[in-house]
Amino acid sequence: MGTKVALVDQYGAFLGVKQGRFVLKVGKDTKWELSPVELDSIIIVTEGVSLSAAALSLASRFGVDLVFMRGDKPIARLIPYKYGTLMRNWALQLKLHESGGSLSLARCFLEGKLHNQRMVLLEYCRRLRGSGKDVGFLERKLDEVTSRLSELERADGVEALLSIEAHAAKSYWEAVARILPEDLGFDHRYTRSNPPPEGEPDPFNLALNVGYALLRKEVWRAVFLAGLNPYLGFLHKPRGSRPALVLDLMEEFRPISVDRPLIGLARTDKKTILDLKKSKDNAYRVVWSHVLKYMRESKPSHVELINSQARKLVLHLQGVQSYTPYRSRW
């Protein structure tokens, strides 16, 4: 599997195959031609795109992730035919969910998240202190996240866990706001359920949305490869088409796979982040590629870590070993 991401973002584009290579055309113009071994993903972000059966077959054969997105949200993807036979794990998920075994897993997901949030803040406390900056505020927020982390063990239900996580998130994002350049205008983490009062969020929030969309794609892939049901979660409630288990497994990796590289990008190349307000298509591609590169080139690779966590969850469901969250060492 390659590392390139091909973005299909023009109305009227056609994705086909020529001599074993993907070819994207708009009208008579060839926009790009790539071998499947070069590609990690083909991301389709606009409507009015058509694909040939040969392109679908080639993507499936080489494991190229073919994802359809609307805005920053994945709405569909290509799934190999053989996936439909893997039902045992789905039954184990349902059994654990119905037997009240969700709490321990939900706690693990948030233990991983808060630990990794703590590691991101600790990194910047050390960096800024080393450069002679006042880190008193960051240290207070770090202590608050650490305190919330210790509270998770005493939570007696999923709602209590989510309340603790929300308080930790407030402290964490207040610290991140202090780390970022002021002119990015970031002062709060906004989500679809908690949008900014003035309409469109600031550019760093937009960058986070792009990064989390990529993380969701990677976790979704790991869930499929492990033979798990993406819609039956333990921390996030199953609801309609919401991929609750994908959201569960994302939690541990949000701080280290997305927040950390984007904080670094914002501090060293804030123009790229600011451009999300101006040239969204190009900035979207740059942010997506930056986070993907970071995830793949980290040691160990975050993509492999995500796959490992999905496999550990399967072993937990099978009663082989207890699930443990991924805790970053730095």
Angle at 174 between CA 155 and CA 71, to 5 degrees: 90
Most confident of 41-45, 131-135, 248-252: 248-252
Tell me the domain boundaries of the chain. Answer: 4-78, 88-317
Instruction: Specify the pLDDT at position 86.
Output: 63
Strands 73-77 and 13-18: unpaired
Phi first, then psi, for residue 239 (nearest 5°) are -155, 110
Which strand (E) or helix (H) includes residue 276? none
CATH fold of 4-78, please?
Ribosomal Protein L15; Chain: K; domain 2 (3.100.10)
**Does the annotation flag 304 for ligand binding?**
no
- pLDDT of 170 over the 80 cut: yes
Q: Which residues contact 122 (CB under 8 A, 6 or more apart)?
A: 142
Residue 172's SS3 state is helix
Under the banding of pLDDT at 50, 70 and 90, the label for residue 85 is very low
pLDDT (tens digit, 9 = 90+) per residue, 242-290? 899 999 999 999 999 999 999 999 999 999 899 888 876 777 888 999 9
pLDDT at 324 over 70: yes
- pLDDT class for 230, splitting at 50, 70, 90? very high
Residue where the block lists tokens 């002021």: 182
Tokens of 84: 């439909």
- Whether the Cβ atoms of residue 162 and residue 193 lie closer than 8 Å to each other: no
236 is in an annotated binding site: yes
Letter string b/e over residues 96-127, b meaning 16 or more CB atoms within 10 A of that residue's CB: bbeeeebbebbbbbbbbbbbbbbbbbbbbbee
Return the ∠ at Cα 165 (arms to 112 and 222), rounded to 5°. 40
Closest CA to 6 of 47, 34, 48, 37: 34
pTM: 0.79
Query: Within the chain, how many helices (H) and strands (E) appear?
Result: 11, 8
Kindly state the tokens that stand for 323. Answer: 């699930």
pLDDT number for residue 126: 96
pLDDT band at 1 (very low <50, low <70, confident <90, very high): low
Residue 219 near residue 306, CB atoms below 8 Å: yes
Higher-confidence residue of 184 and 78: namely 184
Identify the DSSP state of 255. I
Answer whether 46's CB lies under 8 Å from 56's CB: no
Question: Which amino acid is located at 290 in the chain?
Answer: H
Q: What confidence score (pLDDT) does residue 215 get?
A: 96
Q: What is the pLDDT of residue 123?
A: 97
**For the chain, what is the mean pLDDT?**
90
Asked which of 109-123, 178-192, 277-291 is least confident by mean pLDDT, the reply is: 277-291
E strands, 35-85, are: 39-44, 50-51, 65-70, 73-77
* Cα gap 209→323, rounded to integer Å: 28
Instruction: For residue 75, count other CB atoms closer than 10 A to its CB.
Output: 11
Tell whether residue 159 is among the known ligand binding residues: no
Assign domain 88-317 one CATH number from 1.20.120.920, 3.40.50.2020, 3.30.470.10, 3.40.190.80.
Answer: 1.20.120.920
Q: Output the six-digit token pair for 75.
A: 């709405």
Element (H, E) at 29: strand 29-34
Q: Is 327 exposed, middle or buried (0-12, 13-18, 19+ CB in 10 A)?
A: middle
